């Protein structure tokens, strides 16, 4: 029996399918690839050219880690993510969320713990989730990074039934996370759960009862599809070692075709063409291959028509127009799918996913650029391009009724593609202003960043706040571009003089860049605004001369005169790399710490690099292969 989860802690997950014989209402995007599973946009009113800043933005909201696609039905949007902590790392809870497609506001949300399983690794957007949800009239189905499979009441997020594919069916934990999206066939919802007991598993949509399991198969990341052949249907499973045809009624393997190279990370969804041809693609030498099917269902004959390494796909989708197909990885390319002949390839579309609208393609590149172009057997002619996201984007956008919904691992954005009028007079959103400033910062135009920030802040309609410059300044600090970072953070502190966040950001940056005296003055100014500020109260005393006098255990690191920030971290402060500051002296770096009698281990952290104390011969192995300096305090 399925595991029942009566609690109503709400979460959202993306479900995906790629089914030929399914019937979904047009104008919605209920599964992987859209209503027909072909990544085609059926509307005709989208703009044929975009303004320089891109189509009008309807709304944007923070999201989190993951590559799950966006599904939409009846103006409700569903997706899945992991929230990010302050350091930008994904947390171990997965969230499923239902969002109002018009406003971006949350309808319901459900979350559950999903720490990575031993052997699972991060890739691209981090620790997932990667699979796209599936919507039916009543339910929402999701598969998480660790193989937790849910059926929700789509209207309120109540759990109807659920399974753990690894624990309940011995599915192998997929190295980079479960990525194959759930699909639907008649009364069953079908998921990939490859391992010693199964390949695909069919569950009753409403009850979760197992209807059948196909034989053992090696996992891949490709979503299975349903295809129509002769007068029947069968499922196509692209596994790590072979492509299998699965009987939709009982899960039996009707045919199998070997992959050219075993065990590779096969990701692309296969494509069924003219009820006779199957295009498959995989990583590396698997390349692209066209198979032709003939003969009766009981004795199908499979013939390889062509194979071409140059039309291989990695993590991207494929769209088809007539005799021609378009997709890519490092390059975007067009080819004749009947012959396998490569027609052209194009730079500037690295790992781009694509939606097709007649002869037009909407591309989202790995670098976060949204591109409009016209596709033909002769070429890809770029029409418009703008930066949608600052940072990588791996998720295929969704377009419904002229509205585009797109995400990366931080944001979810809605754009209006149907507006034919110019948007040059429309005020930029905060997200667009931030993108503009980030682009200027990447070009090294720091004065232009400050001037542009001040320009938008002076506008009466602007509600721009301090977090934009703070984020850009922190990014520059991480790249050790101290002068530029300090200029931005100083301008931010000047613009918001009574905001302790801007002042502490500047003080911390001064300290990190090696300007201890200036940092001490900044911390002192913060205490004048907020006497109980915890960071300033903790760090300021460590930067004052009195900190090196009186009682305490002396830590000393000679030389390293060119270092900017030196700290000591150890068992006495939780190994925090920025908790205990060392002061610069004529001989190097010093600090005093009040320690009780006992044994301690520690290291120095010099501009982020950990090192043992060269002046202390006492060392100890912590049992994990790390050598630390050892200190015994006999008493004060």
Task: Give the model confidence (pLDDT) of 359-396 as tens digits.
Answer: 999 999 999 999 999 999 999 999 999 999 987 899 99
Mean pLDDT for the stretch of residues 622-629: 86
pLDDT given at position 19: 41
| pLDDT on residue 549 | 84
Q: What per-residue confidence (pLDDT) applies to 169?
A: 97
Confidence of residue 636 (pLDDT cuts 50, 70, 90): low
Task: Kindly state the average pLDDT of the residues 323-342.
Answer: 95
Annotation: CATH topology of 430-543: 1.25.40
pLDDT band at 277 (very low <50, low <70, confident <90, very high): very high
| Rounded mean pLDDT, 539-548 | 90
Average pLDDT value for the chain: 89
283 pLDDT band, cuts 50/70/90, is low
Question: Most confidently modeled of 10-14, 16-20, 187-191?
Answer: 187-191
**Span 167-200, pLDDT tens digits:** 999 999 988 999 999 999 999 999 999 999 999 9
- Residues forming CATH 1.25.40.10 domain(s) in the chain: 430-543
d(CA 41, CA 26): 10
CATH code 2.140.10.10 region(s) in the chain: 1-221
Residue 22: the pLDDT is 44
For residue 6, the model assigns a pLDDT of 31
Q: Are 226 and 22 spatial neighbours (Cβ–Cβ below 8 Å)? A: yes
Q: What is the pLDDT of residues 409-445, one digit of tens each?
A: 889 999 999 875 544 556 778 888 888 898 899 889 9
| pLDDT value at residue 348 | 93
Domain 548-633: what homologous superfamily?
Immunoglobulins (2.60.40.10)
CATH number of the domain at 1-221, out of 3.30.9.10, 2.140.10.10, 3.40.30.10, 3.40.50.180?
A: 2.140.10.10
CA distance 407 to 389: 8
Q: What is the per-residue pLDDT for 373?
A: 96
pLDDT in tens, 583-625: 999 889 999 999 999 999 999 999 999 999 999 999 999 877 7
Cα-based distances in Å from 224 to 244, 248, 337: 10, 12, 20
Comparing 9-18, 302-311, 538-547, the range with the smallest average pLDDT is: 9-18
In Å, how far from its chain's centre is CA 523?
36
97-115 pLDDT, tens digit per residue, is 999 999 999 999 999 999 9
Q: What is the pLDDT of residue 16?
A: 34
Nearest-angstrom CA–CA distance, 186 and 103? 33
Q: What is the pLDDT of residue 4?
A: 39
| Nearest-10 crossing angle of helices 500-512, 467-478 | 10
pLDDT of residue 46: 83
**Portions of the chain given CATH number 2.60.40.10:** 548-633
The 3-state DSSP class for residue 227 equals: strand
Angle between helices 430-442 and 467-478 (to 10 degrees): 30
- pLDDT value at position 420? 59
In angstroms, the CA 450 to CA 389 distance is 21
Specify the pLDDT at position 430: 81
Nearest to 12, CA basis, from 68, 61, 58? 68
Would you state the pLDDT for residue 87?
60
Which residues are paired to 364 by β-bridges? 353, 370
Instruction: Give 118 or 2, the one with higher predicted confidence.
Output: 118
Residue 410, pLDDT score = 86
Are the C-beta atoms of residues 509 and 485 closer than 8 Å to each other?
yes
pLDDT in tens, 215-244: 999 988 999 999 999 888 999 999 988 999
As a whole number of angstroms, the distance between CA 216 and CA 355 comes to 34
pLDDT value, residue 9 = 26
Task: Calculate what percentage of the chain has a pLDDT beyond 90.
Answer: 69
**pLDDT value of position 606:** 96
Question: Is a pLDDT exceeding 60 seen at residue 1?
Answer: no
pLDDT in tens, 20-42: 444 455 568 999 999 999 999 87
Mean pLDDT over 562-591 rounds to 94
Q: What is the pLDDT of residues 453-481, one digit of tens each?
A: 998 888 766 678 888 899 899 989 988 99
Give CA separation, 298 vs 230, 232, 245, 247, in Å: 11, 11, 12, 11
């Amino acid at each position: 029996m399925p595991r029942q989860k009566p609690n109503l802690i709400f979460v959202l997950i993306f479900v995906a399918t790629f089914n030929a014989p399914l019937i979904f209402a047009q104008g919605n995007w209920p599964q992987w690839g859209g209503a027909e599973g072909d990544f085609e946009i059926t509307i005709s009113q989208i703009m044929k050219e975009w303004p320089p800043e891109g189509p009008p933005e309807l709304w944007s909201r923070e999201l989190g880690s993951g590559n799950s696609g966006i599904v939409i039905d009846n103006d409700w949007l569903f997706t899945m993510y992991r929230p990010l902590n302050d350091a930008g790392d994904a947390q171990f809870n997965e969230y499923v969320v239902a969002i109002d497609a018009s406003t971006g506001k949350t309808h319901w949300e459900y979350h559950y713990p999903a720490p990575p399983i031993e052997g699972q690794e991060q890739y691209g957007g981090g620790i997932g989730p990667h699979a796209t949800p599936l919507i039916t009239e009543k339910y929402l189905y999701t598969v998480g990074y660790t193989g937790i499979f849910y059926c929700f009441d789509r209207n309120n997020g109540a759990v109807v039934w659920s399974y753990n594919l690894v624990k309940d069916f011995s599915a192998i934990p997929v190295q980079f996370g479960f990525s194959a999206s759930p699909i639907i066939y008649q009364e069953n919802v079908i998921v990939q759960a490859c391992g010693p007991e199964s390949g695909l598993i069919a569950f009753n949509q409403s009850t979760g009862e197992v209807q059948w399991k196909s034989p053992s198969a090696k996992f891949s990341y490709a979503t299975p599809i349903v295809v129509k052949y002769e007068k029947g249907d069968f499922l196509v499973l692209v596994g790590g070692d072979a492509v299998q045809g699965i009987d939709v009624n009982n899960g039996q393997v009707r045919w199998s075709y070997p992959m050219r190279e075993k065990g590779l990370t096969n990701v692309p969804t296969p494509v069924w063409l003219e009820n006779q041809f199957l295009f498959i693609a995989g990583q590396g030498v698997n390349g692209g291959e066209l198979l032709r099917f003939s003969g009766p269902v009981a004795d199908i004959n499979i013939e390889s028509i062509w194979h071409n390494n140059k039309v291989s796909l990695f993590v991207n989708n494929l769209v088809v127009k007539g005799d021609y197909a378009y997709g890519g990885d490092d390059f975007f390319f067009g080819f004749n799918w009947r012959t396998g002949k490569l027609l052209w390839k194009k730079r500037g579309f690295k790992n781009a996913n694509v939606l097709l609208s007649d002869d037009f393609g909407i591309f989202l590149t790995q670098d976060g650029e949204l591109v409009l172009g016209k596709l033909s057997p002769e070429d890809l002619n770029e029409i418009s391009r703008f930066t949608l996201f600052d940072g990588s984007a791996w998720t295929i956008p969704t377009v419904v009724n002229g509205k585009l919904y797109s995400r990366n691992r931080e944001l979810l954005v809605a754009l209006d593609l149907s507006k034919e009028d110019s948007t040059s007079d429309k005020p930029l959103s905060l997200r667009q202003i931030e993108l503009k400033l980030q682009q200027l910062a990447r070009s090294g135009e720091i004065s232009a960043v400050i001037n542009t920030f001040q320009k938008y802040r002076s506008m009466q309609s602007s509600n721009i706040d301090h977090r934009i410059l703070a984020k850009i300044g922190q990014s520059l600090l991480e790249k050790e571009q101290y002068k530029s970072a300090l200029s931005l953070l100083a301008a931010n502190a000047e613009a918001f003089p009574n905001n302790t966040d801007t002042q502490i950001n500047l003080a911390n940056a001064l300290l990190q860049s090696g300007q201890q005296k200036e940092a001490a003055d900044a911390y002192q100014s913060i205490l004048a605004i907020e006497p109980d500020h915890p960071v300033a109260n903790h760090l300021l005393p460590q930067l004052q001369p009195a900190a090196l006098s009186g009682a305490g255990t002396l830590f000393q690191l000679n030389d390293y005169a060119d270092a900017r920030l030196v700290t000591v971290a150890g068992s006495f402060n939780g190994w925090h790399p920025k908790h205990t500051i060392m002061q610069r002296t004529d001989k190097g770096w010093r600090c005093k710490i009040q320690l009780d009698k006992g044994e301690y281990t520690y290291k120095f952290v010099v501009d982020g690099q950990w090192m043992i104390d060269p002046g202390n011969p006492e060392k100890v192995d912590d049992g994990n292969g790390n050598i630390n300096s050892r200190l015994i305090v006999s008493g004060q």
